[in-house]
Structure 1
């Protein structure tokens, strides 16, 4: 009877395995196509993200440089309006250009003629004779005293070299002051935004191709293997690619069938292709493994069924079930000891061996993880069961105290409460990452199914600390530790926008006096120490009222906020200068010097004012105080004092 039962069972299971094998074939093929589609979709999304990030970077660079260039142009106009004799001397104009850190300075009279400049061969050029220069003549016709023009980078009229020019109207007499810059940073950013550069960031797997096609003309704009090839195959034709947004098979080079996806982006299609042969290699590998697993399962099932047929003692089965229930509830130290016949004894030993193997498997997994050096741990618990299964490194990753570990791992409710408390405060701009202590960050992922909680914890402290360090380096000046100027403007704008009623704030532009002579006399190392000493004084000011930054070279800026009157602002400035005077710097073993700095400030009580306007006003105040004297601060002249 036992042989007949096994024979029929074998026939039924073999038929079932063949049916499962066929269904698995179809399912696996669909799964592989879906996985390949998701892979292509992810890589395409990364390409699009890179394109957008590069374009955003280029836009930010342009905006920041345009603002900086306009400020320098206004500064040049301000100087020339007050020192008009500079406009008659090329050497003086060159000196002014160097002072403002620009490449060219030109003065254009009311007739549109360049009458002075830092480039002698440009003097006498009629701005009306060329399209590039003619655009600035509109400023002469404008009634706006603050009119300006920021021109895009393009070849100039005189030498056909790529330059960017900014022009502003003069305030004292009719005319234009124009400054020019070599657009080096924009050109570098544009070079990073080419398709070849972006494809190099995302190397394709074996057989994979990525290409971009113009959705209007059908022209191939970029290819991961370069454009030095023919694109006459079906998979490169626009009319065929239009139907590949969800994935499709098209003919490729030499008649090979390719699995292709196409993702619309603006007026282009970003396409990915993989030979069907490569996809089917994965399919056959998985099918073969599945077939072996099914055969193994069939063999194990037949063996287990053979044992079940031999069982006759129901009480012994119940006792085994009770023991298995205890083991399932987490009591892995339970020993199954059912006697009465050899079969039950063997089954008892098998169950005990299996439990030990599970425990050893958990220990082996923990050991493997420790040997691999990957800071990883896993856990599992189920509602209604107290025991928490976990790998050995979990306690250290979650920073669970030694005296609490045993309680947590034997009480799933306490453990769940501890995990949920950690996960209530993820760190900003990250997914599933949480702070355990000052230098410990972990990624926690928990999946729940049928009341079971399976979790993985990974130590990502190194990555997070590197990101934090990169953010600091991107927003702070390397030499002085002060904020960089673009980050300063962003923070200052937020402070101004959120300024409480009845409060005022001020922007201070600072320039170190005689810094060039110190550099020339004592060397750049002493010059760096000079800058760092000045920055240290800035950083010693109370951070609840001061925001400090290095603008460029020996130029610095501050924002003084949280004040209720102009007198409070000037009081902080007096304290700053007093601190500066009381901290001289040693230029040499026998030479000490008090750092001399000139500054100008502009203040406002209106949160709707712009930081750009305040910076411009503070700049004017700075140039005015430097024109009159040095080592002092001055206020923007047109500001009306508040009633106090």
Structure 2
């Protein structure tokens, strides 16, 4: 009976038996909960700090982007003009468009200060922009007085922001204003809330994992992770078409959705990249200027219609080719061209024909014609760099413009500006340039001479037969003079019936001989004006002076003019030489 009672008795259990498995699990869970709570409190504090730090980092980046946008949209230095703030030639006072634009891009508050006063801002208080309000005294001392940047929490018109202030300097380096960007507390709260939700989700998942049976780990974690790893390997191999399917709502599901989103976004980005590339090729294709593009190996990757027409080289014959293939249609040989200058821009020789602006360079080329009737071709070649995200040179885009008509027009204008419209000989402008060079050469030891020529009694022809007859006579006389001078000599008409001859390298004796020759030829030549049924003999009075470098141009011309005057005074039809005293 006692034995029966012994075997049938239930073991005693106490609710407070700490050795029981229930309590051990409970204590373990309580310890885990306490640790998790402590960890949550610590992470909460860190999250707040991280949110503030993230906001400051955002402010730094947005400030740099805002400065870049300001420099692109309003190029030029900052300056105070007429009591107002300008960026280049653009007025910044009440220019709320730019701060609104930067604010819409960054989601920040943005302000431009002139001195310590807001002149353009998207900070709104009581339904109005806070224009005219001032920065705090502390910020003013740091930024304006000391010229230092400030990043940190600050009060902006009564509201705290994570802010960035940077001095605006004029061309002389003087602080004339402040550029401000601020992330609102809403942004910080969003980051903080995001952190908190992640923390809470993590704690819940960890607590649930403690309560789950270990046997379910393999089924619900390991296998999906293996599938995600396989999907990641496919992504790494470039497979963007295989959909990632893991129907889970936990971290693994979130990770799977992230992988799937990554796959979709990458596929979309590659599709957009291909479309952008094709769009760029289409733009290049229909540019009016002859244009081609090369990569960093100098292989041609684009060749538009205009350059096909210019060179006669079809696109299919040059795409993918390197070894100066793009140069051959112009030079017919392999030689260093403007593309090499772009790739080695720091080693350019700085020749006058090369224009360099930042890393874009241009050069003008002349291609001679195969026949004398063709004036040849003038080409303006411009090469610009193609840079990757790291600002490294990965190629170049080269445009070629035919500027022959412009250059020929310039030559024609130059000819019209420097030649007499009636006789076709050089005019006073070209003569003054030439005599200036002759005086410079004379100072180095190479003398020359000038002849001042005046037609005797020319006024009688004008008065008798009219100015048209006089013009015809001037053309005839200029033809005689021009045909009896050396190729290097210069005949110019100064106006009316006055001509001048510059004898390059001639001595006084040689100049007098030439002058006598010209005088005799004109005197002996009977000049007939057929239209007027009139023939006459015209005589010349000539004054001679030597260019020996002792006299400046104006005194030299006065000396020759005085010699001409003495020839007139002495009875005309004669040559008079005067030597400088």
TM-score by length of 1: 0.45
Q: Which has the higher contact order (CA 8 A, sep 6+)?
A: 1
TM-score by length of 2: 0.49
